[in-house]
Structure 1
Amino acid sequence: ERGIIVSNVPDFSTEEMADHVLGMILLLGRQIPRMQKYMMEGRFAQARTESLQLRRLSNLTLGLVGWGDSAIAVTRRALPCGLQVIATRRDLSKPSPEADELGVEMVELDDLLTRADFVSLHLPLSAGTRGLLNRQRLALMKRGAYLINASRGDIVDEQALAEMLHSGHLGGAGLDTFGVIEIFGETEGPPTHPVVTAESVIATPHVSALSVDSSRIVATGSVQNLVCVLNGHMPPPDQIVNRDVVPRSPLKPYDPALLQE
C-alpha cells in the first residue's frame, strides 16, 4: 500500500542447511553421539552390542517433505551415500526436471511417512504448514525412524514428537529449530523441554544456516539491493519479496551492470 519494496537474499544458506541436514543423518544413522557417550563411560561391550542393530545407509530411504532448493541440495549429498530418496510437495502433478534428473520419486505425504527411514522437513512456516506433522502423521512413521527438522519448529507437534521419542516409537531426531524453546531470548540456559532431553535427539540452536560464507553472501546481497534502489533501479527480481509492488518513487528495471562496478 505504501509502495515500499521488500527484498531479501533467499538462497544465501542453501549449502549450509544441506550440509547440516546430511550431518545429522550420518550422526543419527551411525548413532555416533551415543557411541561417543559409551566410549567415554567405558561401556565398550554395550556399544558393540547396540551397533549390531544399525543398518547401512544404502539400505535406507530418505523422505524429503518439500522440494525446493534445500531439499534438492540435500538430495545431491545423500545419493552418493547410497540413500534412496523420495519426496513430496503440495503439487505432485507439477513437473520437476531436478527430480527426474536425480531419480527422486514423488509421493503423497502419508506414503512418504510410512516408507522413509529418515524424514527431513524443507518447508516455510505458513498457515498451511503449521502443525503439518501432527500426532497422527508422526504415528505413521516407521518404528525406529528419524525426523530431521532444520525448517521451522512449529511445523511439528513437538509435544507429540517428544512422547514418541521417549517411548521409543521414533529412533531419534535431529532438530535445529523449535517452537517450544526460545532460542533468541535475552536469557540463556539449558533447555528442559522433553523434545530435546531424549537421549536419541541431536539438537542445535538454529545454526544450520550459519557460516563465514553464508554471512558474507547475505551481507553482500543486502548491500547490493540497496545500491540498486539508491541508483534508481529495482533490485534483482528473484530478491524482491513483494513483486507486485508499485514503488512510491519510479524505479528503472534491474540493471546487472550496477553491481559490476
Structure 2
Amino acid sequence: MSPSSRDRLRVTVTRRLPEAVETRMKELFDVSLNETDQKMTRDELATAMRVSDVLVPTVTDQIDANMLAQAGERLKLISNYGAGVDHIDVLSARQRGVLVSNTPGVVTEDTADMTLALILAVTRRIPEGLAEMQAGRWGGWAPTSHLGGRVGGRRLGILGMGRIGQAVARRANVFGMQVHYHNRKRLRPEVEEDLQATYWESLDQMLARMDIISVNAPHTPATFHLLNARRLKLLKPSAVVINTSRGEVIDENALTRMLRADEIAGAGLDVFEHGHEINPRLRELTNVVLLPHMGSATVEGRAEMGEKVIINIKTFADGHRPPDLVVPGML
C-alpha cells in the first residue's frame, strides 16, 4: 500500500537531474538531491533506501538482491530515471513489495539519431578527418584521401526491433539502406511493410550477410554476449558494428581482437561492457568511434525523462499503479 497522498513522500535522487525537473520534485515531494553528482557508494545507496519511500536511480546505480535486502520496510517504489532496468533486480524488488518503474519511449528518437550518426561517422571516417584538421595536418584536397564508403545500398541488420530499432529502420530507409532485422518476435506484416524490413529468424544467417550491424536490444540474461566471439566471426571483414543499446550484448574483448586484426572493418560504440572502464586497446584503434553513453543526451529527452519519473511517483502517491510499471515478465 502506498503512503497516504496527504503526506509528502520522501524521495531520494541519486544523481543531478535537469534543474526544472529537480525544482518540480521539490514542489511535490520531500526530496533529497545529490548536489555533488558523484556516483553513490553501495553504503550510501543502502542508507538512501532505508530512509526513503521512493528511490530515483540511474543506470550508474547497481541495485541487486543484496542491496534490496538492506532497504528495510519504508521503500515502496524505485522510479528509474531511464528506460533500461538491467541495473535493477526487478524480481527481487517485487518479492520485497517494491515496485519498479522506468521512462520508456522518450529516448527513442534521440538514440536512433545517434545510431545513424555513428554509422556515418564510421563509414565516412569523420573522426579521422576531424583529428587531422584539429592537429593542423591537412595538406589540402586529394582524390584518394579520406576515402570512406557510401551508406546507400548497404545492408543494415538491426538486432532488436523495438521502439528504437524501428526508429533506426525508418532513418535507414531515408538513407537508401536495405533494412533487415532479427528480433525475439517477428513484427506484424503491416509493420514490416511500412519499415521495408526483412525478417531473419536465424541471427547467425543474418550476421553473415550484413554490411552494418546495429545493436538495439536490451541487456537481459538472454542477450548477454549475444554477439559472442563465434557470432562476430560470422561477420564479413568489411562489416561495421554499431552499439547504442547496452555494452553487455557484445563480447567486448572478442570485438577488440577482431578489430585489431582487421577481421571487422570498424565499430561505433556509445556503450561498453564494463561501464566507463573501456579496454585501452579499443581506444587506440582508428577504425573505432567511441562516445560516452550520450545516445539520449538531449535537453529535450532528459527533461521528458524527468517528467515521466514525476508522473510515476505522483500516480503512486495517489494510490494508483505507476503508468510505466516494470514487471519481471516484461524482461
TM-score interval (norm. to shorter): 0.7 to 0.9
Letter aligned with residue 35 of structure 1: G
Aligned pair 1:102/2:199, yes or no?
no
SS at match of 1:140: coil
Q: Match for residue 304 of structure 2?
A: 217
Q: Match for residue 257 of structure 1?
A: none
Q: Match for residue 106 of structure 2?
A: 12
1:42 aligned to which of 138, 154, 159 = 138
TM score, norm. by length of structure 1: 0.81
Shift of 1:4: 3.0
Q: Higher relative CO (CA 8 A, sep ≥ 6), structure 1 or 2?
A: 1
Shift of 1:143: 0.9
Aligned residue pairs: how many?
232
CA contact (8 A) 1:181 1:193 kept: no
TM score, norm. by length of structure 2: 0.65
Shift of 1:207: 1.3
CA contact (8 A) 1:124 1:152 kept: yes
CA contact (8 A) 1:38 1:44 kept: no
Q: Match for residue 294 of structure 2?
A: 207
Q: Hey, what's the Cα distance between the residues in 2 that align with 1:19 and 1:161? A: 24
Question: What fraction of aligned residue pairs are identical, expressed as a percent?
Answer: 34
CA contact (8 A) 1:135 1:161 kept: yes
CA contact (8 A) 1:64 1:119 kept: yes
Residues 43 and 87 from structure 1, CA distance in 2 versus in 1: closer, same or farther, beyond 3 angstroms? farther
SS at match of 1:59: coil
CA contact (8 A) 2:229 2:255 kept: yes
CA contact (8 A) 2:251 2:273 kept: no
Aligned pair 1:129/2:207, yes or no?
no
Letter aligned with residue 322 of structure 2: P
CA contact (8 A) 1:180 1:193 kept: no
2:326 aligned to which of 241, 245, 257 = 241
CA contact (8 A) 1:64 1:86 kept: yes
Shift of 1:20: 0.5
CA contact (8 A) 1:72 1:98 kept: no
Letter aligned with residue 99 of structure 1: E
Letter aligned with residue 193 of structure 1: P
Q: Hey, what's the Cα distance between the residues in 2 that align with 1:153 and 1:195? A: 13
Question: 1:213-259, CA deviations, whole angstroms, 9 ceiling, x for partnerless residues?
Answer: 111111111111121122222222xx110288xxxxxxxxxxxxxxx
Q: Match for residue 227 of structure 1?
A: 314
Aligned pair 1:153/2:247, yes or no?
yes
CA contact (8 A) 1:6 1:242 kept: yes
Residues 44 and 162 from structure 1, CA distance in 2 versus in 1: closer, same or farther, beyond 3 angstroms? farther
RMSD of aligned alpha carbons? 2.1
SS at match of 1:58: coil
Q: Hey, what's the Cα distance between the residues in 2 that align with 1:2 and 1:181? A: 28
Tell me which moved more, 68-77 or 160-169: 160-169
Q: Hey, what's the Cα distance between the residues in 1 that align with 2:222 and 2:274? A: 19
Question: 1:86-128, CA deviations, whole angstroms, 9 ceiling, x for partnerless residues?
Answer: 0001234x63532221110001211221111110101111111
User: What runs of 5+ residues in structure 1 fail to find an aligned partner?
Assistant: 184-190, 245-261
Residues 146 and 43 from structure 1, CA distance in 2 versus in 1: closer, same or farther, beyond 3 angstroms? farther
Residues 82 and 207 from structure 1, CA distance in 2 versus in 1: closer, same or farther, beyond 3 angstroms? same
Q: Match for residue 66 of structure 1?
A: 160
Q: Match for residue 75 of structure 1?
A: 169
Q: Match for residue 27 of structure 1?
A: 121
Residues 198 and 229 from structure 1, CA distance in 2 versus in 1: closer, same or farther, beyond 3 angstroms? same
